[in-house]
Amino acid sequence: MIINKSEIAGLLDNLVKEYRVYAPVQKDGIVTFEQINEGTQAKPGATSKKPPKEILFPQSEELFNYQVDSQGLRMEDKIDDTKSVAFGVRPCDAKSMMLLDNVFHNDEYEDVYYTTRRKNTLIISVGCNQPASTCFCTSVGSSPFDTDGSDVLLTDIGDSYLAEAITEQGKEFLCKLNLPASDDQAKTKAEETKKQAQLTSEVDTTGIKEKLDDMFDHPYWESLYEKCLGCGACTYLCPTCHCFDIADEAKDCAGCRVRNWDSCMFPLFTLHGSGHNPRTSGKERWRQRAMHKFNYFVERYNASACVGCGRCIKNCPVNLDIRQVIADIKAQPLE
Ligand code: SF4
Ligand code: SF4
């Protein structure tokens, strides 16, 4: 099916009447993925500074609240089942949601706050015609037109997008929009566009999991962390990072439980109530970050917890580049 770019604004205005709609929006030079209203000028496919993972896993969310009064204890669960559409997600960010699914819903555990949002959110992706210099998705098992995690994939073919349904939900969504069918010319153009999308940045990740199996006590970690400020930007902006902390906020006979993003790069993240901290310095924290992404996650879910979006590279204040870390790990001699 075909969506003319000139009709995107009208399409989004119609969608907001039926769904909660999220899309990339540019404000003060920064692109953020946020809930839009009628008339909001969206930029589908623009790479947001913060990843759209917060649509499913908000930076801060109330899980439930309670009140004790003369009638006893009353509790309200804050499960959010609003029908939503995330419009204009990058394929790497859509793939990250598929990776997060493993964490929030597996054989042992289901996080209903995440899974309810996930079931009720359609992911409409826009392929990357021109990957940025910091993108390296092809090095971590993905590509600029990866369909993993998306319900619909849009390919920018000039004045319009070719829309392909990836899932049954995506198919139903497109059918409801009554869009014109795509012709052979549009399909050919989309195929050419996909072939032309070249990444300029690559890093060889083959065998990194096995290499890390033998590197827990390696001297490499002694130097890697030295210039790291421990600011946590790399983890907060990472679409696959998912550490969180739970806080209970109470006053008198009422209160709520809140979940907030946390970061393995913060010293307090592993501080025990006893005062003991098993990750005493940046060395242990950086090792944890690298190990989690390229060893522990691979062992558990058979995929690295990195989709090559490049956000941590662009935003690290001291230019610690995860691609260089991967290359350095691979180059380290084992004792
Ligand atoms: S580790 Fe860096 S490049 Fe990889 S997904 Fe996270 S932010 Fe993106
Ligand atoms: S963004 Fe850079 S300086 Fe900040 S915690 Fe991550 S690696 Fe360290």
Quick: pLDDT tens for 43-87.
998 999 999 999 999 999 999 999 999 999 999 999 999 999 999
Cα gap 143→91, rounded to integer Å? 8
Residue 334 carries which DSSP code?
P
Tell me, yes or no, whether 191 and 213 share the same domain: no
Strands laid side by side in the 160-165 sheet: 2-4, 160-165, 152-156, 121-126, 84-89, 20-27, 30-36
Half-sphere exposure in the Cβ direction for 157 (13 Å, CA)? 25
Residue nearest to atom 8 of ligand 1 (CA): 309
Nearest residue (CA) to ligand 1, atom 1: 306
Is any ligand 1 atom within 6 A of the Cβ of residue 84?
no
Cα(224)–Cα(203) distance, rounded to whole angstroms?
A: 18
Q: How far is the CA of 93 from the centre of ligand 2 (A)?
A: 20
Instruction: Assess whether the C-beta atom of 50 lies below 6 angstroms from ligand 1.
Output: no
Token pair of 261, please?
């993003």
Looking at residue 220, its pLDDT comes to 97
**Model pLDDT for residues 124-169, shown as the tens digit of each residue:** 999 999 999 999 999 999 999 999 999 999 999 999 999 999 999 9
Question: Is the beta carbon of 308 within 6 A of some atom in ligand 1?
Answer: yes
Nearest protein CA to atom 4 of ligand 1, as residue: 306
Q: Which of 54, 92, 142, 240 has the most ligand 1 atoms within 8 A of CB, as the residue to mutate?
A: 240
pLDDT attached to residue 158: 95
Same domain (yes/no): 75, 181: yes
What was the pLDDT predicted at 335? 75
Is the CB of 303 within 6 Å of ligand 1? Answer: no
> Distance from the CA of 201 to the center of ligand 2, in angstroms?
21
- The count of structural domains within the chain is 2
Residues 152 and 130 in one domain: yes
SS (H, E, C) 45-99: CCCCCCCHHHHCCCCEEEEEEEEEECCEEEEEECCCCCCEEEEEECHHHHHHHHH
Q: Are residues 22 and 121 in the same domain?
A: yes
Nearest-CA residue for atom 2 of ligand 2: 316
235's tokens: 């983890």
Residue 13 has a pLDDT of: 97
Residue 235 within a domain: yes
203 assigned to some structural domain? no
Write out the residue range of the structural domain in which residue 72 sits.
Answer: 2-196
- Give dist(CA 162, CA 228) in Å, integer: 43
∠ Cα 80 306 229 (to 5°)? 95
Task: Identify whether residues 189 and 222 lie together within a single domain.
Answer: no
Structure token digits, residue 9:
């604004």
Nearest ligand to the C-alpha atom of residue 292: 1
Find the 202 Cα to ligand 1 centroid distance in Å. Answer: 14
Query: Of 196, 219, 237, at which residue does a domain stop?
Result: 196
Amino acid 45: pLDDT: 84
For 332: left if phi > 0, alpha if psi spans -120 to 50, otherwise beta; the answer is beta
pTM over 0.75: yes
Nearest CA to ligand 2 atom 6: 234
Using 70 as the pLDDT threshold, list the residues of the chain that sit under it.
none
Ligand 1 centre and the CA of 243: distance in Å?
14
Q: Which residues contact 316 (CB under 8 A, 6 or more apart)?
A: 233, 234
Of 173, 196, 219, the domain-final residue: 196
pLDDT score of 108: 92
Helical residues (DSSP H) of the chain, grouped into ranges:
8-18, 91-104, 112-119, 168-177, 184-196, 208-213, 220-224, 233-236, 282-291, 297-301, 311-315, 322-331
Neighbours of 85 (CB within 10 A): 24
- Residue 282 domain flag: yes
Show the ligand 2 pocket: residues with CB < 6 angstroms.
Answer: 228-234, 265, 316-318, 320
